[in-house]
Amino acid sequence: MKTRLRFGSRIHLRFGEQFDELIHRARFLEENGFDTVLLDDHLLYGTSSAVALEPFSAGAAIANQTKKIKVGVAVTDLVRRHPAILAQASGTISIIANGRFVLGLGSGDPMNQSPFGLPTDHRFDRFREGVLLLKMLWSSSIDNPVTYKGRFYSLTNAYLQTGMPERNRPPLYFAAFGDRMLSFTGEEADGWIPHCHTPETYGKDLAKINDSAKQVGRVSLQTIIPSYYTVASIANTREQADADVAGPAKFFLALIPEALRKIDPSIQHPGRVWEKNSDPRAQREIIRKVASLIPRETALNTVIHGAPSDCIEQISSYAKEGCREFLLTFTPTAGLWSGDEMIPMARLFAEKVIRYFLEEYD
């Protein structure tokens, strides 16, 4: 029996738009067959086009104005948010959404840490310890307090009182790419939410996650949901879609040197040189310069793009490697932050692509 593929979309606000537009986009996705709506967690973007909303507040508003679509944060970290604060916020929104909340976690982005004096070192070790605390606190109560002394965090007779029922505990998706994060995903995560993969590299990394899960004795690998979080563009012609998505595809691939090395080791990447600059706008320009050196086809091989038939073929390739959920950032002709143009693109995707896979599943 085939597993039904699930689809989600990231939404955002362009500078100057009213918050109601975000609610409108979430409702549109719900009404048109999408399973998940996603908000990212940035303090800043390095561009004046974007609005960086606090995602838990915005997500709570979306959850209150929708009925069935899942609401997710993809992704936050345990540097900007102490595990206790994150556990409380997640528990609260899980109650508001009646169990429809999904929490994506990563090790952090220096662009959103160093300008605010937040630590950027020991990222994996801090992440691992923070996840442990998060789970401990979700299981705590006034009768079952938690005491813990670690390298980065400590608790003394601590417990939460969010009133979150066990059934509403949010699934944890890890944004894992390096080997240690992939192994930890197999050990502790409910889902995997990577970026910048070809189907081949996706399958190889998923195999590492599954091997790690087996080593710690996880009963069923079906408890880990493999997703793919990527930019996407769909149009009536392949040429138009490719023109819309090529720039963002190269930009996001430039952000992850490890991804480029996996996809094509022959391409030289200077590494995260932008992290040495303290100005976010300057960082963004450095990333753009790195992106300009990445071949167009290399970047396009990591995203969902083209006419509906192209998108179906690409999604099927990832699904053959084990992906079960596609979380997309639609990139219209007017640019990544064009919310108005995102709706027609998402509608075409729903009508031609989501419907195709629903009919195939039936």
Q: What total of structural domains would you count in the chain? A: 1
User: Rounded CA gap, 202 and 192, in Å?
Assistant: 11
Residue 136 is predicted with a pLDDT of 96
Residue 220 is predicted with a pLDDT of 65
**166 lies in a domain?**
yes
Which pair of tokens denotes residue 357? 């896979």
**83 lies in a domain?**
yes
Residue 221 is predicted with a pLDDT of 65
The whole domain housing 193 covers 6-361
**Side-chain-side CA neighbours of residue 102 (13 Å):** 27
298-347 tens-digit pLDDT: 999 999 999 999 999 999 999 999 999 999 999 999 888 887 789 999 99
User: Rounded CA gap, 95 and 118, in Å?
Assistant: 30
Residue with tokens 């991804």, as numbered in its chain: 259
Q: What 8-state DSSP symbol labels residue 350? A: I
Residue 337 is predicted with a pLDDT of 86
Residue 134 is predicted with a pLDDT of 96
Residue 362 is predicted with a pLDDT of 66
8 A C-beta contact, residue 195 and residue 318: no
8 A C-beta contact, residue 9 and residue 346: yes
pTM: 0.95
Which pair of tokens denotes residue 57? 């507040």
**Side-chain-side CA neighbours of residue 142 (13 Å):** 3
Q: Rounded to the nearest 5 degrees, what angle is found at the Cα of 125, between the Cα atoms of 267 and 95?
A: 105
> The CATH number of the domain where 238 resides is what?
3.20.20.30
CA torsion sign for 17, 20, 24, 26 is: positive
**1 lies in a domain?**
no
User: Rounded CA gap, 336 and 250, in Å?
Assistant: 13
**Side-chain-side CA neighbours of residue 114 (13 Å):** 14
User: Rounded CA gap, 166 and 143, in Å?
Assistant: 16
**113 lies in a domain?**
yes
Comparing CA positions, the residue from 155, 39, 169 lying closest to residue 91 is 169
Which pair of tokens denotes residue 61? 């508003």
Residue 112 is predicted with a pLDDT of 85
48-97 tens-digit pLDDT: 999 999 999 999 999 999 999 999 999 999 999 999 999 999 999 999 99
Q: Rounded to the nearest 5 degrees, what angle is found at the Cα of 82, between the Cα atoms of 155 and 22?
A: 145
Residue 195 is predicted with a pLDDT of 94
The parts of the chain modelled with pLDDT lower than 70 are 1, 219-221, 362
Comparing CA positions, the residue from 235, 228, 229 lying closest to residue 329 is 229
Q: Taking each helix axis from N to C terminus, what angle separates 339-349 and 20-31, rounded to the nearest 10 degrees?
A: 0
Using left for φ > 0, alpha for ψ between -120 and 50, and beta otherwise, residue 46 falls in left
